[in-house]
Structure 1
Amino acid sequence: MINSKNYYDNIATNYHVQALAKMNYLNAVDNYITQTLANEPIIGYMDVGTGDGRRALKLINYFGLDNNIVLVDDSKEMLEQIAIDDNSVLFNGNIMNYKSSKTFSLITCLWNVLGHFPSVDDRINFFKLVEDYLQPGGVFIYDVNNRYNIAHYGFESVAKNITNDRLDDDNKGWFDLATGANKTKVYIHSPFDIEQYIEPTNLILEETVFIDYSTGVKKSNFFEGQLVYKLRKPHQHG
C-alpha cells in the first residue's frame, strides 16, 4: 500500500487517459464553475491538487487571469506535466505547508482531491486554511466522490455503506484505489461530511450540485450523482 503522492507520481504520464474516461463529468464541473462565477471578477486563483494542470489552465484561460495564480500538488511528477507560463506559481508540496501573504477570490479542489487527505482533522484544517486564503467574498468550489451515489456504485454497495455509517465503523468511507504495487487508499465522502468541515469556519455553503459521474448531467438528489459544493467567505462589515 502506497500513499497518494507516490500513486500520482506513478501514474502521472498516463493521468490524462484516466481523465478522458470521465471527461463528461469533469467538463460538467468545469462548466458549473464558469457559469456560477460568470458575473464575478476573479482576482487571484489557487487550485489545490492541480494534477497535470489541464483543468486549472482551462479556467485560467476562460477567466483571462494573468497574475496571482498558484497551482498546488504534492506530486512532483504530476506538476512536471504542466505547460505553464511565468504568470503562475507551482507549489510542489502539502498545501498545509504553503505560506504566502497573497489571498485569492477563487480556490478550487477538484475531482476528489479532498479524498486523499488522510484524516477528518486534516480536512477540517484544510477548510480553515481555505478560509484564511480566501478574500472576503471569495469562493471555494470543490467536488468529491459520493459513497451514497446509487447511480454509479449500485444499490447494494450504497446500502452497505449506509449500514457501515450507522455502525460508526472506523473504516467507513475508505476504499482501495488501484491494485497491486500501485494500490492506495482514498476516502469517498457521504453527503453529510461537509457539515463537520465548515462548522469550525465562517464559510457559507451557497450551493450543492449533484452530477452524474458518467454523463455529466445534473441530477436532483445525492443518490444520483457526485457532490459539487460552492462555499463563500463572508464579506467583512464595519
Structure 2
Amino acid sequence: MCLIIYNNFAYVYDKLTLDIDYKRWADYVESIFKRNNLSASMVLELGCGTGSFGVEMARRGYDMICLDLSSDMLDCAAEKAKKEDLDILFLNQNMCSFELYGTVDAIVCLLDSFNYLTNSSQINKMFKLVKNYLNPGGLFIFDVNTQYKFENTIADNLFYEINDEVTYIWENDYNKKTRKARFDLTFFVKKDELYERFDETHYEKAYYDSEIMDFIKNSGMEFVSRFGELTLRKPSPASQRNFYVCRK
C-alpha cells in the first residue's frame, strides 16, 4: 500500500485546513506553467484529498483528473464538484499503481503527499507512471516537507486546537535516524449535543534534496527547477516546503 487511507479524517479535513489558500496555490502552479511555456489543458492531481485544488483548477477551465486512495476523501471531493456543476474525473486509485486511459499535459502532487511515500520503491514506481502518462514536454510538479521542517517544526511537538465543532490533539514523533515521522491525531467532532472521538495515525518521511534529484534522474525525466514555498526563487536552508519541477 502506498498511501494511508483516510477514514473519518476526510470529513473534518477541510475544517482543519482553512488556512490553505487554494486560489494562491492554483495561481502558483499556473505561474510554473507560464514560466515553462506549457499550454496545459488536461491535468492530473495525485493525492487530491477532498478536491479543493482540483475544483479551483476546474473553475479555471482545466480538464481535471483527481486521484486518491481514500474513497471517503473522494466522496467529499465529488460533492464539491457537484455543487459547482464541474466535470471532474475522480479516480479511487493508488498513486504508485494508477492507470489512465490516456496521457495528460501536467501532473501535480501537492501538500506533502510526496512525503507519505516512505520508501524509495514507492517513489520510483510513482515516477515511472508519471513519465508514462505525461505528454512529451509535460511537467510534473510536486512539493515536499523539508528535513528542516521535520527537525525544527514538526520534531516531537504537540499541537492542538479547540473549537465548538472540532477539537484535535496532534502529537508527533520524529526519528532523525530514519527520517520518519509518526503523527498521532485524536479528534473530537460535535454531533448534535455530543462529541464523537476518533483517532488516526499518519506517517511521513523526510528526503534529502540529493535523494529527490536521484529519483528524478532515475525516472528519465529532466529536472527543471527547485523553488522555495510558493515562490519562483531558490529555497533557503530554512525553507519548510520545497517545490520541484521536472519535464518529460
TM-score, with normalisation over the residues of structure 2?
Answer: 0.74
**Quick one: which amino acid aligns to residue 56 of structure 1?**
G
Q: Does 1:202 align with 2:201?
A: no
Alignment partner of 2:130: what SS?
helix
Change (3 A) 1:179 1:156: closer
Deviation at 1:154, TM superposition (A): 8.4
Select which of 45, 61, 71 maps to 1:76.
Answer: 71
User: Cα deviation per residue 1:86-125 (whole Å; 9 max; x = unaligned)?
Assistant: 7322111213332234001110000111112242111111
Counterpart selection for 1:184 from 172, 182, 202: 202
CA change 1:28–1:211 in 2 (3 A) is: farther
Gaps of 5+ in 2: 158-173, 187-198
One-letter amino acid matched to 1:121? S
Aligned length: 212
* CA RMSD in angstroms, aligned pairs only: 3.1
Residues 9-44 of structure 1: per-residue CA shift (max 9 Å, x gap): 2211111122223x26x6554332111213531132
**TM-score normalised by L of structure 1:** 0.77
Q: Which amino acid aligns with 1:194?
A: I
* Greater fraction of residues in helix: 1
Q: CA deviation at 1:196?
A: 2.4
The code of the aligned residue for 1:73 comes to: D
Aligned to 1:229: 244
* Cα offset, 1:175, TM superposition: 0.3
Secondary structure of the corresponding residue to residue 105 of structure 2:
strand
Task: Check the 8 A contact 2:226/2:234 in 1, yes or no.
Answer: no
Equivalent residue in structure 2 for 1:41, among 34, 39, 42: 39
* Deviation of 1:127 (Å): 0.7
**Deviation of residue 129 (structure 1)?**
0.8
Once the two structures are overlaid, the 10-residue window that deviates more, 112-121 or 95-104, is 95-104
Alignment of 1:34-183 (within 5 A): 34-38=30-34, 39-62=37-60, 64-65=61-62, 67=63, 69-82=64-77, 83-84=80-81, 85=85, 87-149=87-149, 153=153, 164=176, 169=177, 172-179=178-185, 181-183=199-201
Gaps of 5+ in 1: 234-238
Query: Do the aligned partners of residues 59 and 112 (structure 1) sit closer, same or farther apart at CA in structure 2, a change above 3 Å counting?
Result: same
Deviation at 1:4, TM superposition (A): 5.1
How far residue 220 of structure 1 moved from its aligned partner, in angstroms, is: 4.4
**Structure 2 counterparts to residues 6-25 of structure 1, below 5 A:** 6=5, 8-21=6-19, 23=20
Larger relative contact order (Cα-Cα within 8 Å, sequence gap ≥ 6): 1
| SS of residue matched to 1:192 | helix
In structure 2, the CA distance between the partners of 1:156 and 1:191, relative to structure 1 (3 Å rule), is: farther
One-letter code aligned to 1:177: F
The letter for the 2-side match of 1:10 is N
In structure 2, do the counterparts of structure 1 residues 155 and 15 end up closer, same or farther at CA, with 3 Å as the change threshold? closer
**Residues 50 and 56 in structure 1, CA contact (< 8 A), matched pair in contact too:** yes
Task: Among all aligned residue pairs of Structure 1 and Structure 2, give the percentage whose two residues are the same amino acid.
Answer: 20
CA distance in 1 between counterparts of 2:118 and 2:16 reads 23
Name 1:236's counterpart in structure 2.
none
How far off is 1:192 after superposition? 2.6
Q: Distance in 2 between matches of 1:227 and 1:116?
A: 15
